[in-house]
Amino acid sequence: MQRRLAAAAAIAVLAATCFTSATAGATTTPTEEQYRAELGTYIQNMQAAVTAASQNAVVGPSIAAQLDSFQSQLSSAANQVPQLTGPELDAFASAMGQGQAWMQIPAVLQQELTSPTAKAPAQLGPAGFLSDCSSPGDPRGLFFDYWAAAQVASAANAVASGAPDGADFAALTIIAGALFGVANGIAIDLNAKLSLSLDCATAVINATLTSSYATDPSSSAPGNITPASSQISVNKLAALANAIQSTLDTIQTDINTITSKLQTAINLVGVGQGIANTIQATSEDLQTRTDVLLNSVGTAADHANDPGGVPPTGTANGLANTINAREDTTLANTAAFQALSLRMEIESTLAANAPPVALFALPSSHGGYIETVQSIVTSLTNEEIAAGQGVGQAQADIASGNAALAAHQFENAYLDYEAAYLQATK
């Protein structure tokens, strides 16, 4: 093969040399004449590849119908090689690049088409979806054949695309068009045969796989195939089931813990609120009774103790005034205790990171304390900052909670305040 390629190249070089010497005023360079010789050899190798394709056992029958057309196109291309001018040869060299790999592709295509692997059909098997697989060919050999033909077509297309327009480049355009038409035609046919060959290979694989299935003569399925599971698949399924059960157990444990904490928080809120309400009711009753006493006994200026050095009067009104002052103090302390008790319950719930209590996630207009939660978290965060402590993204969470509160998204507001509290106290 190498000796034939060398002889073909020598013939092309001799033809190009004769043409150069016979053409008056020729301006081609030795390098351009080398390109002419290489292109001549390239076309000769393509002619040999077409012949090999027509003799191939797999693609030969479909190539035979186009053989005369292919040979005619390549003959026309070969006749144009001596007519190429220096600029056309330069354009050809520019499109093909400096490497010589393109030169070998037609020879590779010829070798693939004449190799035993490509010519001999693969082992016959069951029919595929697209072919009866009577002569499928070898997928590997067909793939390399198709690749080589597609490379030739691509190179010819590059030459045709890179050549300037105009009559001065007509010969180069004719050569590129002929090479593209022949190579692309062969590539299309090889690709079709490759698809059929792959279809047959898939049918063989499917038949082999199906033959390994479990069968039962009593089964109504095609081929008496019955569903079956391997021990490996059963073990994998059992492992997955155990993992899912473990995850479910963990989730249930977390739910029980959250429920317990939520119930504790609800109980604490109820007890604290009940005590505060009782104290407040008692204090209000005492205040009312004291006011009645003040209005009916003594004067408003009377007092029972020494207010800043003034001697006590010792009257009933003075006693009532003293009681009233002390009741005012009691009411103030009760209110402070009530607020502290509520704050303790709110902070306890926030620190537990539990689901929001409805009482804390509702606004005061609906009997809730979301505004109180807002105040507690904001005040605590500011105090932590003033003390030089880090609060993480608490301020951002507070801002998000304020926006949600303004939009009446009370549960989201509570969750944002809860996140801010955890950031500020961690």
Q: Render pLDDT for 165-195 as a digit per residue (tens, 0 to 9).
A: 767 787 888 888 888 888 788 888 778 877 8
CA distance 20 to 42: 20
Question: Chain-centre distance of CA 123, in angstroms?
Answer: 43
| Residue that the structure tokens 């390109």 belong to | 35
Residue 305: per-residue pLDDT: 63
In this structure, what token pair is assigned to residue 251? 């989730």
Q: Give just the sign of the alpha carbon dihedral 403, 406, 409, 414.
A: positive
The burial class, CB within 10 Å (0-12 / 13-18 / 19+), for 363 is middle
Q: What is the pTM of this model?
A: 0.41
How many CB atoms lie under 10 A from the CB of residue 325?
A: 15
Residue 187: per-residue pLDDT: 82
Question: Chain-centre distance of CA 424, in angstroms?
Answer: 36
Contacts of 104 (CB under 8 A, 6+ apart): none
Contact 111, 173 (CB under 8 A): no
Question: Three-state SS across the chain?
Answer: CHHHHHHHHHHHHHHHHHHHHHCCCCCCCHHHHHHHHHHHHHHHHHHHHHHHHHCCCCCHHHHHCCHHHHHHHHHHHHHHHHHCCHHHHHHHHHHHCCCCHHHHHHHHHHHHHHCHHHHCCCCCCCCCCCCCCCCCCCHHHHHHHHHHHHHHHHHHHHHHHHCCCCHHHHHHHHHHHHHHHHHHHHHHHHHHHHHHHHHHHHHHHHHHHHHCCCECCCCCCHHHECCCCCHHHHHHHHHHHHHHHHHHHHHHHHHHHHHHHHHHHHHHHHHHHHHHHHHHHHHHHHHHHHHHHHHHCCCCCCCCCCCCCCCCCCCHHHHHHHHHHHHHHHHHHHHHHHHHHHHHHHHHHHHHCCCCCCCCCCCHHHCCCHHHHHHHHHHHHHHHHHCCCCCCCHHHHHHHHHHHHHCCCHHHHHHHHHHHHHHHHC
Could you read off the pLDDT of 230-289 as tens digits, one per residue? Answer: 678 778 888 888 888 888 888 888 888 887 877 777 777 777 777 888 888 888 888 888
Residue 14: per-residue pLDDT: 36
Contact 182, 73 (CB under 8 A): yes
Contact 316, 293 (CB under 8 A): yes
How many CB atoms lie under 10 A from the CB of residue 195?
A: 16
CA distance 30 to 38: 12
Name which of 387, 373, 369 is nearest 421 in CA terms.
373
In this structure, what token pair is assigned to residue 335? 């209110």
CA distance 155 to 159: 6
Residue 407: per-residue pLDDT: 96
Residue extents of the structural domains in the chain: 2-211, 255-354, 356-426
Residue 370: per-residue pLDDT: 95
The rounded average pLDDT for each run of 10 residues, N- to C-terminus, in the chain (426 residues) is 30 35 58 88 87 82 82 89 87 70 78 60 60 67 75 75 72 83 82 76 71 69 68 81 87 82 74 81 83 67 62 65 76 83 90 86 94 96 94 95 96 95 92
